Amino acid sequence: MKSAILSVGTELLFGQITNSNSVFLSSQLNNLGVDVMYHYTVGDNPKRLAEMIRQAFTDCDLIITTGGLGPTQDDLTKEIAAEVMHDDLVLNENILSELESYFKRSNREMTDNNKKQAYLPTRAVLFDNNAGTAPGFALEDEGKIIICLPGPPREMTRMFEQKVKPYLLKKSECVIYYKMLRTFGIGESMLETELKQWIDGQTDPTLATYAKEGEACLRITSKRKTSEEAKTAVDDMIKKVNQKIGKFVFSYDDEELYEVVGKKLIDKNISVSCAESCTGGLFAQTLTEVSGISAVFDRGIVTYSNRAKIEELGVRAETLEKFGAVSEETAIEMAEGLKRKVGSRLCISVTGIAGPEGGTEEKPVGLVYICALLDDRRVSREFKIRDTGRKWNRNYTMLCMMDMVNHLIDEI
Amino acid sequence: MKSAILSVGTELLFGQITNSNSVFLSSQLNNLGVDVMYHYTVGDNPKRLAEMIRQAFTDCDLIITTGGLGPTQDDLTKEIAAEVMHDDLVLNENILSELESYFKRSNREMTDNNKKQAYLPTRAVLFDNNAGTAPGFALEDEGKIIICLPGPPREMTRMFEQKVKPYLLKKSECVIYYKMLRTFGIGESMLETELKQWIDGQTDPTLATYAKEGEACLRITSKRKTSEEAKTAVDDMIKKVNQKIGKFVFSYDDEELYEVVGKKLIDKNISVSCAESCTGGLFAQTLTEVSGISAVFDRGIVTYSNRAKIEELGVRAETLEKFGAVSEETAIEMAEGLKRKVGSRLCISVTGIAGPEGGTEEKPVGLVYICALLDDRRVSREFKIRDTGRKWNRNYTMLCMMDMVNHLIDEI
């Protein structure tokens, strides 16, 4: 089944609201094996709305609309849906009395315009609204289906899960299963090159690559008669893919890198402390996003000034003088000083130039040194990060730190 | 000018990614006085993409596309845009050599598919990509304009602000001037209530309130023939508004609270250090987003464990024992210990329960204590933050710290 999602509401076109409904519905429909071909957004304008519905039906069998079911004058979705599907609106006495008792219960006066919500297409399959007043519905005509849902995400998502999903499941033929692999250290184009043989022969499972800030993702999707078949197809492909790019994959379940690292530290009970210069606490802050990390995270020290590096971590003044604050030597002394001071099993340090100021020809913005100590292992590395702004440079530096820790943990 | 925003990418139709590009572009275009009529999203399918562009041009003069400019085979936006606008793609030697030197600089091999990015329509007005490899462009044909931008938000937003905005400004007829006031400590509904008299009578300037995480914003907009007229209208309204809500406003120029605080610290040359528990380095990290902060920021210490609080800050074991790590007493000892140790003029500490675990009936998730010392002043406060998830609780705590510092600096 091919579908389109149509969001109705002028507020969406003003850029005041993120369209979370489309994301939710896309994900839900894909999981039900319904292909989503288009998203459309249109304002509260009857002519354009009708045109868009007709347009979408030229190659879709199913349209789901959100918004425009409310009591006010500019709520027109129902009227237009009925018109396109050759039906009429009639007063539904059940809905009317439900509305009346709803207003009575909540001690509010039912204004006249609320009655509008009780007018529904004669052939509509109704979906109760457990979180608001406007009911949703499905309407079929000549093999096409339109499903009209309320706009507020809380009402829409509930209605979808409780009413629309069972309705659609009856009409669907196959099941979709997918895995999202997350990688670090390989660009999207290189990922595609490595996997070209399987991407090109896309039938089932299909492979698709995506760039994400600092990462490349790979989605492996199978669409089969049963979920077992689909799962097996995806798992088999993962085995093949792993031979090519396995070392770059940090998650097979769409997790963030810091979550993967945080969980490993907790699971293996590895105490951790960090000393940061250019990232200013971003590594500590990100790692402590993981709930339960307090069991292993001891402390983080943001040694921004040279004085702080000397006082807090015992970095030698000569080292700072001779090699500079941004040098491998300083990074190593930071990590080793931290280890001496706090004794955490994992100690990691970073120093670099986040920009926009502070870069020189010899040491440009984006130059970063990271040193990690885990038990008796020591790794230190220079990174030349492409300067794309202070925030991004810092974020990418943090990801490099996480990646280094992730590999280091895997080695023990 | 009437416009449509067209997002290209199968990943959007899978519901894996929220379409933040459409929101950003809608808001930007509205600010420029360009009406946004439609959002469309389509997968990486040339036929459907071409149809959608033609469809959108039936009642729009401008289409902005995002996505599909990359190096891989399914990146087809450029090809389709050229076709619809009756142009051809040719190899742009400048872009090619930029690409080659980019890959050389970052020590990566340039795979063959990357060359694709150097093919561009002959009549294209090019927009450099400062944050990625694929350039954007505008292409005009028979009074219609298509602007093709890369998909990654970081690349797209930069390109829009630096290149597309000036390009579009040249084509617009009237001038929009606006100021975005940012407030902390007053909710959006209260803000609206306070300003109701001016919001209701909206003609010009118009007032619109927005909720932002932890903040309420007020946008004052005027659309006039000249920028002087518009600016005067907005400035006059700001004077009126300030009498009602001035004390909550921290920026009249859409700055972040941390930027305001960072700049004040730098301008007044106030040295600063911080000691964080529940925020895990978020305050240090956020403050050090400000470029040039190294002139005043000495260090941050993330004392997550009790041991770290004792060792790093000299918090007394009895205090932790008697009042708990999350207490006003501990917050004060953290700040005072930090002051003794490092001597920065401004020392700020925080301790609290970020959740989801760790809350009790007596000390629930969201309970936070902040203490700030500036020269001889001391402020300490208890906050009961409404628990809406770990990430949010931590972020709101950081904002409370910034707000406290902001007011403290203003007092001296």
Tell me which residues of chain B, numbers 21 to 60, contact chain A at a CB-CB cutoff of 8 Å: 22-30, 36-43, 48, 52, 55, 59
Total residue length of chain A? 412
Whole-structure pTM value: 0.75
Q: How far is CA A333 from CA A192, A329, A339, in A?
A: 40, 6, 10
pLDDT of residue B282: 97
User: By the CB < 8 Å criterion, does A10 face chain B?
Assistant: no
- Strands, E assignment, A51-135: 62-66, 89-91, 119-121, 125-127
R_g of chain B computed on alpha carbons: 26
**If you measure CA to CA, which chain A residue comes closest to B105?**
A386
R_g of chain A computed on alpha carbons: 28
Q: Which residue has the tokens 């617009």?
A: B172
Reported as a single tens digit per residue, the pLDDT across B355-394 is 888 899 999 999 999 999 999 999 999 999 888 788 889 9
Q: Which domains does chain B have, with CATH numbers?
A: 2-169 (3.40.980.10), 175-251 (3.30.70.2860), 257-411 (3.90.950.20)
Given a contact cutoff of 8 angstroms between Cβ atoms, the answer to whether A278 and A354 are in contact is yes
What SS3 string covers A180-207?
A: EEEEECCCHHHHHHHCHHHHHCCCCCEE
User: By the CB < 8 Å criterion, does B269 face chain A?
Assistant: no
> How many angstroms separate the CA atoms of A124 and A233, rounded?
39
Q: What value, to the nearest 5°, has the Cα angle with vertex A390 and ends A385 and A394?
A: 60
Given A19, A192, A282, which is nearest B285 (Cβ)? A282
> How many angstroms separate the CA atoms of A150 and A96, rounded?
17
Q: Identify from A302, A368, A383 which residue to disrupt to test chain B contact, counting B C-beta atoms within 10 A and taking the largest count.
A: A302
User: By the CB < 8 Å criterion, does B157 face chain A?
Assistant: no
> How many angstroms separate the CA atoms of A217 and A240, rounded?
16
Per-residue pLDDT of chain B (412 residues; tens, 9 = 90+): 899 999 999 889 988 788 999 999 998 998 787 889 999 999 988 999 999 999 999 999 999 999 999 888 888 999 999 999 999 999 999 999 988 888 888 777 888 888 888 999 999 999 998 888 889 999 999 999 999 999 999 899 999 999 999 899 888 777 778 898 999 998 777 888 889 888 887 788 988 887 777 788 898 988 888 889 999 999 999 999 999 999 999 999 989 999 999 999 999 999 999 999 999 999 999 999 998 899 999 999 999 999 999 999 999 999 999 999 999 999 999 999 999 999 999 999 999 999 888 899 999 999 999 999 999 999 999 999 888 788 889 999 999 999 999 999 999 8
Q: Residue B298 and residue A304: Cβ atoms within 8 Å?
A: yes
Phi, psi of B324 (to 5 degrees): 90, 160
pLDDT of residue B113: 85
Tell me which residues of chain B, numbers 348 to 367, contact chain A at a CB-CB cutoff of 8 Å: 355-358
Mean pLDDT by 10 residues, chain A (412 residues): 93 84 92 89 91 94 93 86 95 90 79 86 92 89 95 90 89 80 91 90 84 86 87 96 96 95 98 97 96 93 95 97 97 98 97 92 96 97 91 95 97 90
pLDDT of residue B176: 77
Kindly list the residues from chain B whose CB atom is less than 8 angstroms away from the CB atom of residue A211.
70, 151-152
- Measured over the CA atoms of residue A85, residue A86, residue A90 and residue A93, the dihedral's sign is negative
- B93 CB-contact burial (10 Å; exposed 0-12 / middle 13-18 / buried 19+): exposed
Q: How far is CA B395 from CA A233, A299, A341, A390, B348, in A?
A: 42, 19, 30, 20, 16
Residue type, A272: V
Nearest to B279 by CA among A278, A285, A294: A285
User: By the CB < 8 Å criterion, does B74 face chain A?
Assistant: yes
Closest CA of chain A from B142, distance in Å: 24
Closest CA of chain B from A384, distance in Å: 7
Strands A346-352 and B297-303: unpaired
What SS3 string covers chain B?
A: CEEEEEEECHHHHCCCCCCHHHHHHHHHHHHCCCEEEEEEEECCCHHHHHHHHHHHHCCCCEEEEECCCCCCCCCCHHHHHHHHCCCCEEECHHHHHHHHHHHHHCCCCCCHHHHHHHEEECCCEEECCCCCCCCEEEEEECCEEEEEECCCHHHHHHHHHHHHHHHHHCCCCCEEEEEEEEEECCCHHHHHHHCHHHHHCCCCCEEEEEEECCEEEEEEEEEECCHHHHHHHHHHHHHHHHHHHHHHEEECCCCCHHHHHHHHHHHCCCCEEEEECCCCCHHHHHHCCCCCHHHCEEEEEEECCHHHHHHHHCCCHHHHHHHCCCCHHHHHHHHHHHHHHHCCCEEEEEEECCCCCCCCCCCCCCEEEEEEEECCEEEEEEEECCCCCHHHHHHHHHHHHHHHHHHHHHHC
Kindly list the residues from chain B whose CB atom is less than 8 angstroms away from the CB atom of residue A208.
10-11, 74
Beta-bridged to residue A137, according to DSSP, are A126, A148
Neighbours of B47 (CB within 10 A): 10
Q: Residue A193 and residue B113: Cβ atoms within 8 Å?
A: yes
pLDDT of residue A103: 81
Given a contact cutoff of 8 angstroms between Cβ atoms, the answer to whether A53 and B64 are in contact is no
User: By the CB < 8 Å criterion, does A66 face chain B?
Assistant: no
> How many angstroms separate the CA atoms of B31 and B222, rounded?
10
